[in-house]
């Protein structure tokens, strides 16, 4: 009988001690967690960073892909400068340039890969761009923009030489350069 009582008491002691130990340990760990981080911050740590990281990565990847795609396609900027009183050659240069673009580069124009601007150097609004290209009168420049680098060819001389009386020759020269710049 005594033995049975002893076993019961021991068992009880063990159960109580287990309960006490477990009850003490859990609050301690929670306490330590709560002390170091607030609940929202824990939630943040567990959830937000993952989603943000993922989004950032996606966004970055998309941006990178988009920028690579953008950078991989060269852009062509064509500037035709003129004064207010235009001569026959100057008008011929504009017309032949338009004809070249409409005939051979219509889709690039529509997509914005090629941009054609006709600018009067007498207009104050064009002063900055005219200064950049050192355009003081009639002039035709073709600029290739690729990976942030600009390469410019000056077609003013060829324009004056050919556009009026040998248009097909001028068109050929311009077409070849634009085709080369699009590569």
Partner 1 sequence: MKKILFILFLALTNCTLFAQTQNLNKKTKLLVYYFHITDRCNTCRSIEAVTTKVLNENYKNELDSEIIVFKTFNVEYPENKYICEKYQAYGATLALTKIEFGAEVKIDDLTNFAFSKIHTEEIFTKGLMDKINEYLK
For the bound state, the minimum distance from the C-beta of residue 109 to partner 1, rounded and expressed in Å, comes to 25
Whole-angstrom distance, CA of residue 115 vs CA of residue 135: 18
CA 55 to chain centre: 17
Where would I find the H helices in the chain?
A: 2-36, 39-46, 48-72, 88-104, 106-111, 127-132, 156-162, 167-182
For the bound state, the minimum distance from the C-beta of residue 139 to partner 1, rounded and expressed in Å, comes to 7
Backbone angles phi, psi at 97, to 5 degrees: -65, -45
| Nearer Cβ to partner 1 (169/175) | 169
Which of the stretches 52-60, 80-88, 94-102, 142-150 binds partner 1 when contact is defined by CB under 8 A? 80-88
For the bound state, the minimum distance from the C-beta of residue 91 to partner 1, rounded and expressed in Å, comes to 10
Whole-angstrom distance, CA of residue 158 vs CA of residue 83: 18
Q: CA-CA distances (angstroms) from residue 80 to 7, 49, 56, 126, 181? A: 106, 52, 43, 12, 17
Query: Hey, which residues does 154 pair with through a beta bridge?
Result: 141
- Residues 101-140, one symbol each (x = binds partner 1 by CB under 8 A, - = not), give ---------------------------------x-xxxx-
- Residues 161-180, one symbol each (x = binds partner 1 by CB under 8 A, - = not), give xxxxxx--x-----------
Written as six digits, the tokens of 130 are: 């005219």
Counting contacts by CB under 8 A, is residue 99 touching partner 1? no
Q: Which of 80, 81, 97, 158 binds partner 1 (CB under 8 A)?
A: 158
For the bound state, the minimum distance from the C-beta of residue 150 to partner 1, rounded and expressed in Å, comes to 16
Q: Which residues bind partner 1 (CB under 8 A)?
A: 83, 86-90, 134, 136-139, 154-166, 169
């Amino acid at each position: 009988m005594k033995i049975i009582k002893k076993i019961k008491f021991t068992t009880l002691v063990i159960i109580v001690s287990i309960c006490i130990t477990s009850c003490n340990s859990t609050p301690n760990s929670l306490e330590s967690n709560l002390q170091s981080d607030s609940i929202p911050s824990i939630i943040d740590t567990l959830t937000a960073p993952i989603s943000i990281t993922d989004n950032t990565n996606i966004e970055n990847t998309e941006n990178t892909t988009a920028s690579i795609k953008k950078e991989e396609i060269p852009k062509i900027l064509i500037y035709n400068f003129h004064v207010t009183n235009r001569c026959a050659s100057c008008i011929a240069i504009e017309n032949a340039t338009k004809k070249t673009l409409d005939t051979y580069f219509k889709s690039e124009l529509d997509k914005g890969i090629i941009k054609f601007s006709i600018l009067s150097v007498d207009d104050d609004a064009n002063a900055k761009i005219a200064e950049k290209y050192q355009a003081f009168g009639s002039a035709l420049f073709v600029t290739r923009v690729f990976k942030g680098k600009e390469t410019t060819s000056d077609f003013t001389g060829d324009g004056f030489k050919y556009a009026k009386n040998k248009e097909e020759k001028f068109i050929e020269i311009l077409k070849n350069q634009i085709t080369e710049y699009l590569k």
